[in-house]
Amino acid sequence: MPNQLYRRLPLLLLAALLALIGGLLLGSVPLSPLTIWAVLIGEGNPLERMLILELRLPRVLAAFATGGLLAVAGALMQVLLRNPLADPYVLGLSGGAAVAALLAMLAGLGILWVSSAAFVGALFSTLLVFGLAHGSGSWTPTRLLLTGVVIAAGWGALISFLLAVAPSSELPGMLYWLMGDLAHARTALLPWLALLAVLLILLPLGRHLNVLARGSLQAAALGVPVRRMEWLIYGLAALLTAVAVTVAGSIGFVGLIVPHLMRLLLGHDHRLLLPASALGGGTLLVVADTLARILIAPQQLPVGVITALLGVPVFLLLLHRSRTL
Amino acid sequence: MNALLQTHQLQLALPAHTATNTLDWSIQRGECWGILGPNGAGKTTLLHCLAGLRPPRQGELLLQGQPLQRLSVRQRALQLGLLFQQQQDEFPATVLETALIGRHPHLSLWQNESPTDLALAQQALQRLDLLPLAERRIQTLSGGERQRLALATLLTQDPQLLLLDEPTNHLDLHHQISVLELIQSEVQQGKAAVMALHDLNLAARYCSHLLLLYPDGQACWGEKDIMLHLPALETLYQQPLLLFQAEGQSIFIPRSTNG
């Protein structure tokens, strides 16, 4: 539906740019816009160059892409499960990733292995939930949701077990990973590629998602190939979440609240909602990560703490004001 | 001439349907069919089966001479539209947005709704007295308004065969009549309709043909005047009935069953 809501998209873009610039300027050592400009056009002293090009820029870009991945994955999961309270982790994906990542940490493996383990764990959990939900009966959103919730509870128990038996020297690293942390994000390339690829795939399917949100029978009656769409959504959401978890551990709330914030701002059309969620999620995570870096500088907080601290009151406010949830 | 929809040796995949007879039924343009039967007889399943949403136990469906299975879901949605007994409204949306999703099968992947599509949706809302509510959220509608909105979505979809599962559900007396007359006028324009109804009197008045569906899967069908046979209807519903004539209409009244 071409309408006036599309005009709000440039505002989101502007907010995203401001957040990115803010993320570059602020930190334990604040920089001036002039310094950043100098470095970006290839001047500036080596220390500033290193600080910006090797530390802040990759981290800010990784934060943006990760936030975008989580928000889009959340919007997809909400349609797939026809449940507005679904988030990217609701089907136990982050639990699987966490167990694998923590095992890698306990084995004393490097950060690259921990990330790879998280990715494999996330995909394993996805396949496990999907296989079990398929079961002998029919494949319904409720069945998928219940299977995912139970598998997530199982992963939760395993995580507690690993934390209980871990040597105390490993605990801070493990806890930071569990709360979501961008300090180890080395490359922004993978999350950006994943985000752009998935948005491109979904761009022509926004109207299908709108119809699917009305229930699978209604969607089938209106000519949506429901089963194929649901597999696609599930696969894409799982891939997005797996990449996000690989980059930054399990960061909560972005995937739940950003799609809802965007619905309030822009309405219910997924052709608009998905790109807006990518922008909004990216902006939110860059802001949260910047706060995580400066609040108790020079120490850093795990970004998941900030997104939750921002997310809980915002979401409660939304819930309080909403008459439809 | 090809029938709009034809069934060949159709049997519904319902455990209670143990009868061995099959349904060889054809629906022509200009016909308005009523499906009558007690609760649980399989009226909804039959409608879903005709729409291609549920596979039958056996048999085949032909849509304008072509096997339904071989058509894509989108091709089916251009010819067949289904009004569901219940709507799922998990996500917020406005009345106009909801009517507009009826255009979905008419648009290709990269197409957006055009002003023409918007006009069709508004026209459908107008025909169901919903235009003043166009910007309302569907969660704030009453049951009857929601039911009329579902009909408006179906009209916006503009299929050749309208399959309607209890179209008069939740509607007040005035809207029961206006909705059935709306369906009748669609049929007179060369479309066809099949509707599951519980009100014998409305069925007698607005349907041209009737199909009686028994709980064991037996069915008989034909023109209304032949099918409105008092003993057959009493057997169908296990309910004694009284028949009156008023202004050329058959009026059925259920008798009390306490003696």
Pairing between β-strand B209-213 and β-strand B32-36 as defined by DSSP bridges: parallel
pLDDT on residue A308: 85
| Exposure of B178 in the CB half-sphere (CA atoms within 13 A) | 13
* Owning domain of residue B71: 5-254
CA A259 remoteness from chain centre:
11
CATH number (domain holding residue B92):
3.40.50.300
Shortest alpha-carbon distance between residue A55 and chain B (Å): 40
Does position B113 have pLDDT exceeding 70, yes or no? Answer: yes
Closest CA to A209 of A79, A71, A84: A79
CB contact under 8 A, A223 and B73: yes
Q: How many domains does chain A have?
A: 1
Mean pLDDT of B221-240: 94
pLDDT on residue A133: 82
Sign of the CA dihedral running B168, B174, B179, B181 = positive
Closest CA to A8 of A288, A307, A310, A264: A264
CB contact under 8 A, A222 and B53: no
Quick check: bond before A298 cis, omega within 30? yes
CATH number (domain holding residue A131):
1.10.3470.10
pLDDT on residue A2: 45
CB contact under 8 A, B78 and A2: no
Domain assignment of residue B224, yes or no? yes
Whole-model pTM?
A: 0.90
Nearest 5°: CA angle at A176, between A172 and A177? Answer: 120
Interface test with B, best of A138, A201, A324 (most B CBs within 10 A): A324
For residue B176, what are the contacts with CB-CB under 8 A and spacing of at least 6?
A: B168, B199, B202
Mean pLDDT of B24-50: 96
Q: How far apart are CA B87 and CA B102, in angstroms?
A: 14
| Exposure of B235 in the CB half-sphere (CA atoms within 13 A) | 13
Shortest alpha-carbon distance between residue A214 and chain B (Å): 6
Does position B12 have pLDDT exceeding 70, yes or no? Answer: yes
B180 touches B168 (CB < 8 A): yes
Count CB neighbours of A38 within 10 A. Answer: 17
Q: How far apart are CA A186 and CA A22, in angstroms?
A: 20
Of A40-54, A288-302, B205-219, B228-242, the one with minimum mean pLDDT is: A40-54
Pick from A204, A218, A323: which is nearest to B139 by CB?
A323
Domain assignment of residue B48, yes or no? yes
Shortest alpha-carbon distance between residue B239 and chain A (Å): 33
A237 touches A278 (CB < 8 A): no
Q: How far apart are CA A305 and CA A250, in angstroms?
A: 11
Q: What is the DSSP string of B133-178?
A: GTTSBGGGS-HHHHHHHHHHHHHHH--SEEEEESTTTT--HHHHHH
Does position B183 have pLDDT exceeding 50, yes or no? Answer: yes
Q: How many domains does chain B have?
A: 1
- Cβ-based contacts of A210 with chain B (< 8 Å): 101
Average pLDDT, chain B: 94
Q: How far apart are CA B223 and CA B189, in angstroms?
A: 20
Interface test with A, best of B90, B107, B138, B139 (most A CBs within 10 A): B90
- Cβ-based contacts of B80 with chain A (< 8 Å): 221
Domain assignment of residue B99, yes or no? yes
How many cross-chain Cβ pairs, A to B, lie less than 8 Å apart?
Answer: 87
Give the confidence band of B109 by pLDDT, cuts at 50, 70, 90.
confident
CB contact under 8 A, B82 and A221: yes
Higher pLDDT, B8 or A324: B8
Closest residue, chain B, to A222 (C-alpha): B77
A72 touches A277 (CB < 8 A): yes
- Cβ-based contacts of B157 with chain A (< 8 Å): 222
Closest residue, chain A, to B153 (C-alpha): A222
Does position B72 have pLDDT exceeding 90, yes or no? Answer: yes
Sign of the CA dihedral running B104, B106, B109, B113 = negative
Domain assignment of residue B145, yes or no? yes
Amino acid present at A163: L
Interface test with B, best of A214, A217, A319 (most B CBs within 10 A): A214
Per-residue pLDDT of chain A (325 residues; tens, 9 = 90+): 446 677 788 889 999 999 999 998 988 788 888 888 888 888 878 888 888 888 889 999 999 999 999 999 999 999 998 888 888 888 888 899 999 999 998 998 888 888 889 889 988 998 898 888 876 666 678 888 889 999 999 999 999 999 999 998 888 888 888 888 887 776 788 899 999 999 999 989 999 999 999 998 999 999 999 989 998 998 899 899 989 988 888 888 899 889 988 888 888 899 999 999 999 999 999 999 999 989 887 888 888 889 888 888 877 887 777 655 5
- Cβ-based contacts of A207 with chain B (< 8 Å): 104, 107, 112
Pick from B77, B88, B110: which is nearest to A214 by CB?
B88
Report percent pLDDT > 70 for chain A: 95
Per DSSP, the three-state class of B202 is helix
* Owning domain of residue A221: 4-321
pLDDT on residue A136: 65
pLDDT on residue B45: 95
Tokens 């306490």 -> residue: B258
Of A26-40, A195-209, B4-18, B44-58, the one with minimum mean pLDDT is: A26-40
- Cβ-based contacts of A264 with chain B (< 8 Å): none
Per DSSP, the three-state class of B8 is strand
Does position B189 have pLDDT exceeding 80, yes or no? Answer: yes
pLDDT on residue A1: 44
- Cβ-based contacts of A269 with chain B (< 8 Å): 97
Q: How far apart are CA B146 and CA A178, in angstroms?
A: 45
CA A41 remoteness from chain centre:
31
Domain assignment of residue B227, yes or no? yes
Pick from A2, A222, A268: which is nearest to B93 by CB?
A268
